[in-house]
Amino acid sequence: MIKKLKYIVDWILLTGSTVIVCVILGIILGDIFSKGASAISWDFITGLPTDGMTKGGILPAVAGTLVLTLITTLFSVPFGVACAIYLNEYAKPSVFTNIIRASIRNLAGIPSIIYGLFGLALFVQSLRLGTSVLSAGLTLGLLSLPYIITTTEEALKRIPNSMREATLALGATQFETIKDVVLPKALPGILTGVILTMSRAAGETAPILFTGVAFYINDVGTSVNQEFMALPYHLYMLSTQHQAIEQVRPLAYATAGVLILLVFLLNIIAFYIRYKYRTKD
Amino acid sequence: MDKIKLSAHRLNLHFGKKHVLKNIHIDFPNNKVTSLIGPSGCGKSTLLRSFNRMHDLSPDVKIEGDIQLDGNNIYDKKVSVTAMRKRIGMVFQKPNPLPKSIYENLSYALKLHAFPKNEIPGLIEMALKESYLWDEVKDELKKPAVKLSGGQQQRLCIARTVVLRPEVILMDEPCSALDPISSHKIEELIMSLKSNYTIVIVTHNMQQAQRISDKVAFMYLGELVEFDSSENIFKDPQKELTRNYVNGHFG
């Protein structure tokens, strides 16, 4: 009897927690989309802002965020994956590799505003890239590196050693083994990590604040050396800095909705990749 | 006297501080099946894996002494490990087909060693026939190898080893993950392969060792206790320890 009661209490606590989390998420999403619904439309996503951003669309911010995320990915994925391969496949366990791993973990814990300052010092000033989408992308790339390295290493760790031995025993070199068996098999895990990191980078505001994001640009950029608009900063600006805050409130909510949809889309892609490869095995 | 294909001389192996193989001397005759038997942890798998340098990538393994294939030390600095592994193939305890199709599992091995493209289909068919798998898979060579049954996967792994025409095949308890019928098929396969290959097999199964081997090596706590013809080891062992083990008193 007591055992049964305990079981029921456990069930209520666990299910209750899950429900509370889901309800909070639902309220946030409901609030944003209901208040932004009047402004969200295809024209809003593909149009240029007009009348001091009180009307029109947010195309420059959408395009800026997409280009920014692309630069971030192009920079962080090759380095991150290569670094993870070195750590998991080549490096022998030693004090040195432990220090590297600990440093990477620590990097993942550094507040993003500090990456922003570092990016300002390194890319904008020392390397003379100026405040630009390139500087911001590289800064976000640095921020993403530890996540890419960690998720890739986890994906590589899940490949059983028997796979590696299979090809080594056939006379494959270690590089061939990694290229032909380990990486293809770890690809779904790596891609999932990459996409989740991208979705995180797309929503970052602090690192791009110092390195290139602009208040208002009435066009889509044509060069990586230009300043750019980005969704998270545009949202911040519309909700706190604009001269007619009350008037642009629906636009701010709609911008938040578009950003959430973008991140959602990336997560769904990650989910789909995992699902597809899991059923394939 | 048989021709010696593979041999170990004064072989010592340490995992860190642990002395796993102690001064092993052993000669494997050409085109014969030799079984390595002994209780768990006696070092038989470790010994087997040192014959194709599978310990190379493990940190803190120290190997002294030498292992000779046709009289040449495979641990010599000048030896190409990949070329050596083409001559000394290995089949593992758990079937480990690559996440590719049946056909690609074999063609991959051939492409690694740059076999001419036009010879590949013929070599693959021959290896699958030799491994008693051809009749079961000839119509579905494009099927993913992981879809095969455990026994079929293991025969595919043997085919993948055989397709390279090695000289020695090392087998690490190839039947231990299989059901009795599949094990029986693998045993038959081993018997038919020995006319062309020198086979060294690690097994826990005394009956299996008795059925398939020409020679048997009994190992205990990292030492080679007794090495003789299968008949002598099972009917008339010279050492007390061997007698107790083959009669099932411990192990």
Residue B11: which pLDDT band, with cuts at 50, 70 and 90? very high
Q: Kindly state the helix (H) or strand (E) to which residue B29 belongs, with its residue range.
A: strand B18-29
Q: Closest to A171 (Cβ–Cβ): which among B86, B94, B157?
A: B86
Residues in chain B with CB shorter than 8 Å from the CB of A184 are: 99
Does the CB of A187 have a partner CB in chain B at under 8 Å? no
pLDDT at B250: 76
Q: How far apart are CA A157 and CA A87, in angstroms?
A: 11
Question: Quick one: closest CA in A to B55, which residue?
Answer: A165
Q: How far apart are CA B89 and CA B105, in angstroms?
A: 15
Question: Quick one: closest CA in B to A91, which residue?
Answer: B59
Choice between A55 and B64, residue whose per-residue pLDDT is larger: B64
Q: What fold does the segment set B4-94+168-246 form as a domain?
A: Rossmann fold (3.40.50)
Q: Please judge whether B97 and A174 are an interchain contact, meaning their C-beta atoms are less than 8 angstroms apart.
A: no
Residue B204 has pLDDT above 60, yes or no: yes
Q: Please judge whether B99 and A93 are an interchain contact, meaning their C-beta atoms are less than 8 angstroms apart.
A: no
Question: Quick one: closest CA in B to A280, which residue?
Answer: B144
Question: Quick one: closest CA in A to B98, which residue?
Answer: A163
Residue B212 has pLDDT above 60, yes or no: yes
Does the CB of A163 have a partner CB in chain B at under 8 Å? yes
Residues in chain B with CB shorter than 8 Å from the CB of A180 are: 108
Q: What is the mean pLDDT of each run of 10 residues along chain A (281 residues)?
A: 88 95 96 90 87 82 93 96 95 90 92 94 94 95 95 94 93 94 92 91 91 85 87 91 85 93 90 77 51
Q: What is the DSSP string of chain A?
A: -HHHHHHHHHHHHHHHHHHHHHHHHHHHHHHHHHHHTTT-SHHHHHSPEETTTTEE--HHHHHHHHHHHHHHHHHHHHHHHHHHHIIIIIPPSSHHHHHHHHHHHHHHHS-HHHHHHHHIIIIIIIT---SSHHHHHHHHHHHHHHHHHHHHHHHHHTS-HHHHHHHHHTT--HHHHIIIIIHHHHHHHHHHHHHHHHHHHHT--HHHHTTTB-S--SS---STTS-B--HHHHHHHHHHT-TTHHHHHHHHHHHHHHHHHHHHHHHHHHHHHHHHHHHH-
Q: Please judge whether A180 and B108 are an interchain contact, meaning their C-beta atoms are less than 8 angstroms apart.
A: yes
Residue B107: which pLDDT band, with cuts at 50, 70 and 90? very high
Smallest CA–CA separation between B150 and chain A, in Å? 15
Q: Closest to B113 (Cβ–Cβ): which among A162, A171, A184?
A: A171
Residue to test with chain B: of A170, A178, A277, most B Cβ within 10 A: A170
Q: How far apart are CA B226 and CA B37, in angstroms?
A: 10
Residue B248: which pLDDT band, with cuts at 50, 70 and 90? confident
Residues in chain A with CB shorter than 8 Å from the CB of B113 are: 171
Residues in chain A with CB shorter than 8 Å from the CB of B81 are: 171
Question: Quick one: closest CA in A to B160, which residue?
Answer: A170
Residue type, A195: I
Q: How far apart are CA A264 and CA A196, in angstroms?
A: 10
Average pLDDT, chain A: 91
Chain B residues within 8 Å of chain A (Cβ atoms) = 52, 54, 57, 59, 81-86, 89-90, 92, 94, 96-99, 108-109, 112-113, 146, 157, 160-161, 164
Question: Quick one: closest CA in B to A90, which residue?
Answer: B57
pLDDT at A271: 87
Smallest CA–CA separation between B57 and chain A, in Å? 9
Q: Please judge whether A169 and B59 are an interchain contact, meaning their C-beta atoms are less than 8 angstroms apart.
A: no
Question: Quick one: closest CA in B to A277, which residue?
Answer: B99
* Mean pLDDT calculated for residue range B80-106: 94
Residues in chain A with CB shorter than 8 Å from the CB of B107 are: none
Cβ contacts below 8 Å, chain A against chain B, sum to 61
Residue to test with chain A: of B50, B86, B98, B143, most A Cβ within 10 A: B98
pLDDT at A280: 56
Q: Closest to B164 (Cβ–Cβ): which among A162, A166, A170?
A: A170
